[in-house]
Amino acid sequence: MKSLYIAHTPYHVLLASTLAASAEEDRERHLVSVLDSDMAELLRSLELDEDPPFDHVYSIPGTLDTTGRRGELRKKVNSLRVRRYVNCERPDELYTFNDHRPESQAAFDALGDDVRRIYVEDGTAAYARFPPADEWTRLGYLKAKLFYGPWRRNPRLLGTTDWIDEVRLVFPDHALPEVRANPVVPIPRESVLVLADADWFRRYVEQSGVDETLDRLDALVFVTHSNYVGDISNYVELLETLVDRLTERGFRVGLKYHPREKQKAFEFDRDDVEVLSRGVSAEVLYVADPTLDFVVGGMSTALLTARWLLDDATVVSLTEVLQQSNRELPDVFERLGIHVPESRSEVAQVPIRR
Secondary structure (3-state) at 295: strand
Q: Do 58 and 33 contact (CB within 8 A), yes or no?
A: yes
47-83: pLDDT as tens digits: 888 888 999 999 998 887 777 788 888 999 999 999 9
Measured CA to CA in angstroms, residue 339 lies from 167, 169, 171 at distances of: 28, 22, 17
Domains in the chain (CATH in brackets) are 2-194 (3.40.50), 209-347 (3.40.50.2000)
Spatial separation of the C-alpha atoms in residues 240 and 187, rounded to whole Å: 36
The per-residue pLDDT for 140 is 81
| β-sheet bridge partners, residue 33 | 7, 59
Q: How far apart are the first and last CA of the chain?
A: 48
The per-residue pLDDT for 135 is 65
Q: Which residues contact 174 (CB under 8 A, 6 or more apart)?
A: 127, 332, 335, 336
Spatial separation of the C-alpha atoms in residues 34 and 81, rounded to whole Å: 11
The per-residue pLDDT for 144 is 86
Q: Residue type at 225? A: H
Spatial separation of the C-alpha atoms in residues 187 and 15, rounded to whole Å: 9
For the chain, 354 residues long, give each residue's pLDDT as a single digit of tens: 899 999 999 999 999 999 998 888 889 999 999 988 888 889 999 988 888 899 999 999 888 777 778 888 899 999 999 999 999 999 999 999 999 999 999 999 999 888 999 999 989 999 998 876 666 778 888 888 889 999 999 888 999 999 999 999 999 999 999 999 999 999 999 999 999 999 999 999 998 888 888 888 899 999 887 676 767 777 888 888 888 889 988 899 998 887 777 656 667 777 888 888 878 899 999 999 999 999 999 888 999 999 999 988 999 998 888 776 677 889 999 999 999 988 888 887 788 776
pTM: 0.91
Helices 102-110 and 68-89 cross at an angle (nearest 10°) of 30
Secondary structure (3-state) at 112: coil
Q: Residue type at 275? A: V
Q: Which of these, 71, 101, 108, lies nearest to 87 by C-alpha position? A: 108
Here the contacts of 134-143 (C-beta below 8 Å, separation 24 or greater) are none
129-179: pLDDT as tens digits: 887 666 677 888 888 888 999 999 988 899 999 999 999 999 999 999 999
